[in-house]
A and B are shown apart, each in its own frame.
Chain A
Amino acid sequence: MELQGIMHGAGLVFIFLGIFTIIVAGLGLFRLPDLYLRASAVGTSAGLGVASIVLGALLMDFSWLNLLKALLAIIAQLLTSAVGSMAIARSGYLNNSRPAEITHTDDLIKTRRDSADSR
């Protein structure tokens, strides 16, 4: 009974941590200047945010089957979010979305066909 109470409380803490991370990532969408920085900021919600909500739900309703489901869910979520943000960022770069002014080095510009005339 005692253990259940502790796990319930810990689960709540993890869920609220996840909610906080997702809210901050949403704020980042408005506050950051360009596509690539925004993609990085959203990475925190897709990674830590969702993972810690799933972990919190697992702690509140623990069983070995749920542990397996939670592990699968976290791994699938991490993989798909990584591939998704790479695809978005790369297609953004190919579609002429320039990095913000504060970006101090850009090595990828050398590989562009139009790098000479479009600057």
Chain B
Amino acid sequence: MAESTTFETAGQRIFSLFQKNSALLNEGAPDFLRNDRELAMSHFQRMGIPDRQVENYKYTDLTRLFAQENFNRSFRPASFDFDMQEVFTCDVPEFDTHLLFHVNGWYFEQNKTDQFPAGTIIKSMKRALKEDTALVEKYYGQIADASMDPMVALNSAFAQDGIFICIPDHAVIDKPIQIINLLHSEEDLYVTQRNMVVVGKNAHVKLMFCDHTLAVHSFIANYLTEVILQEDSIADIYGIQNQHNGTAYLNGLFVRQERNSQLITNTITLHGGITRNHLHVDLHGEHANASLYGLSLTDKDQHSDIFTSVIHAQPSCHSNQIFKNILDDSSTGSFTGRIHVMPGAKKTGAYQRNNSVLMTKAAKMNTKPQLVIDNDDVKCSHGATIGQVNEEALFYLQTRGINENEARLMLMFAFAHEVLTNIRVEQLRHSIDRLVNKRLRGEISRCHDCILECIR
């Protein structure tokens, strides 16, 4: 019963915060968004903060996180008058990208957006809501259904800003668009960010979302990105998550794919206190193709949760998922993957795999790969393994004169590498290889490229 009281107070607290600040939240927002917020809030009230009784959060109990009262919220952007591009240098060497920044969920207005092909829209969500209302309204909340998930509902109720990207038909963005989300604050902070990416017909784009914490304080980051891939478009979406142990990172990526579109996502969790990645792909047109990859490295008492759902709604679509976890110390991991093949989605191919390595006695892994298939013309499979480094392989390497520690690292690296080979940006692939290698050696105990002597 104790749990339900915490849930009530935390839930009520959020509701009263919502009511108190509704004027601020809706400042300059179009009408549809007001209604959306109200509706999302009512969904959140119905579902509450998920505890372990909620099937989709069985292995990630958020009640304790939300019971903490120390998190502040800012309903207006804090002002930063320095040049981000100078302060922050990405440590991927010679990596030429379009750099765009967010600080605490707010779009950084000094971002340079003049190098894109004509017709490309890149601006803050707040401005897009005002200036491109019709376009945003068409997709906003359509892919991420607030009635199905409490964190989506919470994001929809509170989100004010983020990035809005619209790539015109047939445009090819040559360089990857690198979106850097920084958390920087003088107090514990709750951050909400809402992004939308519309990729036009036959357009190509590569997106990178990099997440960093620049302060010692605790954060709850509730991010949500909706992506629409029009016919024949191609999108690569990479996520590099590197935050300190005081960060709870609740990330949602919701994608709708039209006919012949192709998607690759690669989610690399290098560091973070509680990390939950909710990936949802709706294969909405024939011959759409989605590949979802992920690698999560955890130690100390970190927790990483990957939750995927791939909906095959149309015939002849193909999906492939590979997620790997390496768990050290007393960290915990969870993977839930659901493939849903709807009636009528003939000639479907859907594959899913989760492999985990436990390094210590105290580490825990829970995995829940699921197939829901309502059609006979399918080829589907899923596999899950939880185990250790192969002793025979270890022995073989030792016979070749490689010491045990090094051999173990080599095998772990090889294990992780399978996921990384699917990164299609060469410098990024090399750099992440290097980061993972460093991480496995325990050399990133703080966020890379961080000037603060952070104790977490």
Do A and B bind?
A: no
Residues of chain A having any CB pair with chain B under 8 Å: none
